[in-house]
Amino acid sequence: MFKNVQPGEYAVSVLHDANENQRMDFEANGMSIENYAMSNNPMLMGPPKFDDVKFTVGTDDIESILRF
């Protein structure tokens, strides 16, 4: 969980480095072998641009409505 996040624009990218080699691994055809995720779930070929995955954090306290 993130705490004390200041208002602004952010992007999140996560990689499950299953074989712990510190990089994303690919098939010969360029498809990722390991799981990954990005904010906004863009359908892209290649790395995203910030504008494709950004989201805005405002000033509203939403902790009370988010239950994970």
Q: Is 25 contained in some domain? A: yes
pLDDT at res. 27: 92
- Whether the CB-CB separation of 21 and 31 falls below 8 Å is answered with no
User: Average pLDDT in the 40-54 region?
Assistant: 86
Q: Where are the alpha helices (DSSP H) in the chain?
A: 50-53
Counted domains in the chain = 1
Residue 51 lies in a domain: no
- Is 63 a residue whose pLDDT tops 80? no
Span 7-31, mean pLDDT? 93
Regarding pTM above 0.85, the answer is no
In a domain, 1, yes or no: no
- Note down the domain range covering 32: 11-44
Indicate whether 46 pLDDT > 80. no
Provide mean pLDDT across the span 38-53.
Answer: 86
Rounded-to-integer distance, Cα 12 and Cα 35, Å: 14
